[in-house]
């Protein structure tokens, strides 16, 4: 009679050894597939913006610089906007020095103060004159403020609304006719998770971000008939330093790469948040009373701590 081994049967000890050897190989294979998938997706994202005219507002900010870098290396024809000419020139030099000039375009530079509403339409004409059209408009400019409602002046409230709401929508409205006439284009709003939930001591900022979400949600529906995409990217707070430690914030590099993927996939809305702030958005949506109670409790605890100190 043939032994069990001759019939291809394994004893428990041999099965255990096989499992130990197979698991690392399986994990290695899965990791390889994920890596290849992400690499292919990244390359496709870059190819999707090649030769496209891409306008980035506040290109001299931390996130603006990273967006400029990823779109520039992707072969986009960049129009970079910012408030300071010297910083725009420094960004121009940085991009030119790190990219292959045979496969990239030299960026165009435009002075733009997004809070100066009266000048935005004239600046939009300058932007359109660069290449005659705009394929992708990235509204990146933003202004933050922190403080109790009673301590923020109405003038500052208005300034925040100009920077975060009226400025972006004024520029968008000035660029839209060009896109509508060509029946193509994409508008990206880099907003904030605070456009979804209100956080204490940031009333003016949260209000402006809520307003922007409302406007661009409506715009998305209206532009569908013209084949114009509208995307909103909502990160938690963006770290000022690229190499800073992550708490609940996200790196500018991470956000810039997500913006590129969003442009490529034409995804309508993206929420970039760690589990806790992401959960807060869902609790606010489905269990508002619980959300308000948690926020109020946090304020009371903070006040108690300050009084004890």
What's this model's pTM, rounded to 2 decimal places? 0.81
Catalytic residue of the set 7, 131, 165, 205:
205
pLDDT exceeds 60 at position 8: no
CA atoms within 13 A on the CB side of 170: 23
Q: Is 265 exposed, middle or buried (0-12, 13-18, 19+ CB in 10 A)?
A: middle
Distances (CA, A) of 213 to 63, 181, 288: 19, 25, 19
Coil, helix or strand at residue 228? strand
Integer Cα distance of 280 and 295 in angstroms = 10
* Vertex 58 angle, CA 225 and 70, to 5°: 75
pLDDT tens profile 117-166: 999 999 999 999 999 999 999 999 889 999 999 999 999 999 999 999 99
Q: What is the DSSP letter of 268?
A: S
pLDDT tens digits for 197-252? 988 899 999 999 999 999 999 999 999 999 999 999 999 877 664 444 445 678 89
The pLDDT of residue 250 is 85
Q: What 3 state SS string does 160-218 have? A: HHHHHHHHHHHHHHHHHHHHHHHCCEEEEEECCHHHCCCCCCCHHHHHHHHHHHHHHHH
**Interatomic CA distance for residues 241 and 220, integer angstroms:** 32
Q: Which residues make beta-bridge pairs with 109? A: 80
Percent helix, strand, coil in the chain, to 5, is 60, 10, 25
How would you classify residue 269: left for phi > 0, otherwise alpha for psi between -120 and 50, otherwise beta? beta
145 burial (CB, 10 Å; 0-12 / 13-18 / 19+) is: middle
Asked about 205 being catalytic, the answer comes back as yes
48/256 Cα distance (integer angstroms): 15
* Rounded alpha-carbon distances, angstroms, from residue 54 to 130, 179, 186: 11, 13, 9
Nearest to 65 by CA among 222, 238, 300: 238
Inform me whether the pLDDT recorded for 53 exceeds 80: yes
Distance in angstroms (rounded) separating the CA atoms of residues 110 and 233: 24
Instruction: List the one residue out of 263, 229, 267 whose CA is nearest residue 42.
Output: 263
Which residues touch 238 (CB under 8 Å, ≥6 apart)? 62, 63, 249, 250, 251, 252, 255
- Is residue 298 over pLDDT 60? yes
Confidence (pLDDT) at 309: 55
CA atoms of 81 and 112, how far apart (whole Å):
6
């Amino acid at each position: 009679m043939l032994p069990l081994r001759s019939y291809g049967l394994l004893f428990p000890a041999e099965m255990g050894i096989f499992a130990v050897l197979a698991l690392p190989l399986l994990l290695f294979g899965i990791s390889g597939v994920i890596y290849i998938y992400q690499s292919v997706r990244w390359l496709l994202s870059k190819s999707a913006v090649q030769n496209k005219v891409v306008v980035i507002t506040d290109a001299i900010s931390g996130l603006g610089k990273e967006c400029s870098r990823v779109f520039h290396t992707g072969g986009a024809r960049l129009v970079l906007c910012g408030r300071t000419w010297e910083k725009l020139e420094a960004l121009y030099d940085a991009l030119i020095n790190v990219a292959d000039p045979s496969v990239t375009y030299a960026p165009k530079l435009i002075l733009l103060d997004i809070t100066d509403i009266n000048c935005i339409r004239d600046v939009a004409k300058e932007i359109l004159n660069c290449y005659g059209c705009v394929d992708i408009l990235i509204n990146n400019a933003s202004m933050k403020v922190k403080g109790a409602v009673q301590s923020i002046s109405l003038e500052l409230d208005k300034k925040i609304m100009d920077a975060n709401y009226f400025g972006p929508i004024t520029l968008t409205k000035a660029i839209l006719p060009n896109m509508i006439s060509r029946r193509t284009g994409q508008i990206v709003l880099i907003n904030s998770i605070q456009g979804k939930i209100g956080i204490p001591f940031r009333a003016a900022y949260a209000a402006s971000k809520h307003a922007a979400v409302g406007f661009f949600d409506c715009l998305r529906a209206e532009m569908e008939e013209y084949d114009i995409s509208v995307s909103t990217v909502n990160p938690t707070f963006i770290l000022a330093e690229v190499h800073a430690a992550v708490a609940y914030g996200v790196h500018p590099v991470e956000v810039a790469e997500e913006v590129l993927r969003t442009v490529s996939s034409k995804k309508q809305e993206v929420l970039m948040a760690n589990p806790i702030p992401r959960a807060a958005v869902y609790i606010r949506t489905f269990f508002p009373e619980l959300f308000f109670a948690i926020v109020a409790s946090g304020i009371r605890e903070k006040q108690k701590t300050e009084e004890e100190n």
